[in-house]
Chains A and B, each alone.
Chain A
């Protein structure tokens, strides 16, 4: 029987450590000129370097260094005047050289912080997450596990390897142990990853798509008795691939650890895997017999010693910080706190801002993204931002509503159509024959038909009983298949019955 979360936090204090891997959005790979485009046919974006062929040598992508420095600066880090690449040696078939070119004791950025806010019942709370280091490394290839019953690694007969992803630049951002979050640990973890993602996106260094794996989070969790000094044994939950999962994985690990500790048992230091479906983790590789990575300086690459003026140039070109931007937007649009938080939570701020830029008024833009679109996203269990609807589509729909060419109800049909990949709004309106019936004569015809069908109701309205008009309006709307503007129908109907 699992402990309740309340019981866990009564007794234990969680300590978090978050490692985020980001694939940089460079055109070419970290050490060779192969394309980084996602989704290409297998082994079409490989060369002697990223396949680790005998004799091939790496050459550092300067853009990747620039991006890494930008990330470090945005996270308030110091930039090392001298750093080196190192080889991390271990065997794994998805890693062509059987070592990963990474950084060890000389990361390019170190010692930063990121402040994050969470919305709680006790009001907005702010936490400072300290950053240990930001370093560069390369991604691995991808394996498909074939045969066996499950298609998963266990029980597979063999694997098929595609090295297109091998060598894509990765930046790893590692926090210091984060304490003092208490019961809000899961929310703080999520807020940190979310804020980090916003920063990375604002820097334009990555497309930060968690669902495609371009941003991946490993969550280290340990518990200690409240008041204790010594850190507990941690587990490392790998590749948690959505914001929601970060929060769930931390909470689930806290509950699991507490269960073990309460029984007087020992938490095993190990890698665990989070399962979206069950919301729980299962053990991966045990680290009891620690792998010895035999790090040493990469002899094929020379040290990185960024000049001070280069660093300052990068600092000078950093964009507005997401937190500053949010504050600015909230003030400009006069958005209430709750709604601001809702937009951030649904991760649609960029979309709303873009929609406003394209001419929609902030209130309408917001209500579409937080209303209908968010609802449809929820139904499909995907983030709103990943739906096939763009700010341009929403701006177009809003403009049509403002011009009276769409009713809210029709607009919802259009939006749904866009999300169902039926085309852009104009195409859907055309295809589905959606248009507002604003032609008075057509409406009058429908009104007369409704009156003829329900003469008694019409009589009541004529007699001054206005609420009875609802039934007639409903009939008109039905007759016009919802394509009429209800307000207009009401106006015409009342006028027709001598009540206008």
Chain B
């Protein structure tokens, strides 16, 4: 039985940037444990000799020519912005630097 603790879910929620209520964390940890048990079956047949498939069809080398295409206008680009200023997307203060 896979066991996903409440702390595990809290950590996943942090990684996924979702603020969850304690009730949600509790609920999801029990639910995920059940789902993980069901999906863990994949391990039964995933032998070392089986190559993984990341793309359903075996296509390679699809390249675009290095040419310019029209961009959006700044008005279009910013049309969905929750806030804007000086033709830029206005966002709340960013903590920490990458």
Contacts and interface: CB of A to CB of B under 8 A. Distances in A.
Interface of A: 26-28, 32-35, 41-48, 51, 59-65, 82, 84, 90-94, 140, 143-146, 153, 156-163, 271, 273, 284-285, 292, 294, 296-297, 299, 301-306
Contacts of B22: none
Interface of B: 15, 17, 54-55, 59-74, 77-78, 85-94, 96-98
B87 A42 contact: yes
A159 B83 CA distance: 11
A475 B92 CA distance: 69
A62 B64 contact: yes
Nearest to B53: A297
Nearest to B66: A63
Contact of B69 (A34, A158, A284): A34
Given A47-B72, A161-B89, A302-B60, A145 B94 contact: yes
B93 A159 contact: yes
A303 B98 contact: no
B67 A27 contact: yes
A46 B71 contact: yes
A389 to B, nearest CB: 31
Contacts of A296: 54
B3 to A, nearest CB: 19
B54 A297 contact: yes
Given A27-B66, A62-B64, A302-B60, A160 B90 contact: yes
A228 B96 CA distance: 35
Contacts of B66: 26-28, 61-64
Contacts of B85: 146, 160
Nearest to A84: B54
Contacts of A64: 66
B88 A302 contact: no
Contacts of B89: 43, 160-161, 163
B65 A62 contact: yes
16 contacts: A43-B74, A43-B77, A43-B88, A46-B72, A91-B17, A140-B98, A146-B85, A156-B94, A158-B90, A160-B88, A160-B89, A160-B90, A301-B62, A302-B59, A303-B61, A304-B61
B94 A33 contact: no
A153 B71 contact: no
Contacts, number: 134
A160 B90 CA distance: 5
A273 to B, nearest CB: 8
Contact of A42 (B68, B73, B88, B98): B88
A438 to B, nearest CB: 53
B64 A60 contact: yes
B64 A44 contact: no
Contact of A60 (B62, B68, B88, B94): B62
Nearest to A36: B68
Given A161-B88, A302-B55, A303-B55, A156 B69 contact: no
A61 B63 contact: yes
Contacts of A299: 54-55
A480 B97 CA distance: 61
B4 to A, nearest CB: 16
- Between B69, B87, B89, B90, the greatest number of chain A beta carbons within 10 A of the residue's beta carbon is seen for B89
B61 A306 contact: yes
A159 B97 CA distance: 13
A145 B97 CA distance: 12
A303 B54 CA distance: 10
A285 B94 CA distance: 13
A146 B60 CA distance: 45
Contacts of A157: 93
Nearest to A60: B63
Contacts of B55: 297, 299, 302-303
Given A43-B78, A51-B77, A303 B60 contact: yes
Contacts of A92: 94, 98
Given A60-B63, A303-B55, A35 B71 contact: yes
Contacts of A153: 94, 97
B5 to A, nearest CB: 17
Contacts of A35: 68, 71
Contact of A159 (B15, B54, B62, B91): B91
Contact of A285 (B63, B70, B96): B96
Given A33-B70, A159-B93, A306-B61, 9 more contacts: A42-B86, A160-B86, A160-B90, A163-B77, A273-B97, A285-B97, A296-B54, A299-B55, A305-B60
Given A43-B88, A292-B15, A304 B71 contact: no
A297 B52 CA distance: 11
Contacts of A292: 15
Contacts of B86: 42, 160
B91 A161 contact: yes
B56 to A, nearest CB: 9
Question: 9 closest Cβ contacts across the A-B interface?
Answer: A33-B69, A62-B63, A63-B66, A160-B88, A297-B54, A161-B89, A305-B60, A59-B64, A302-B59
A301 to B, nearest CB: 8
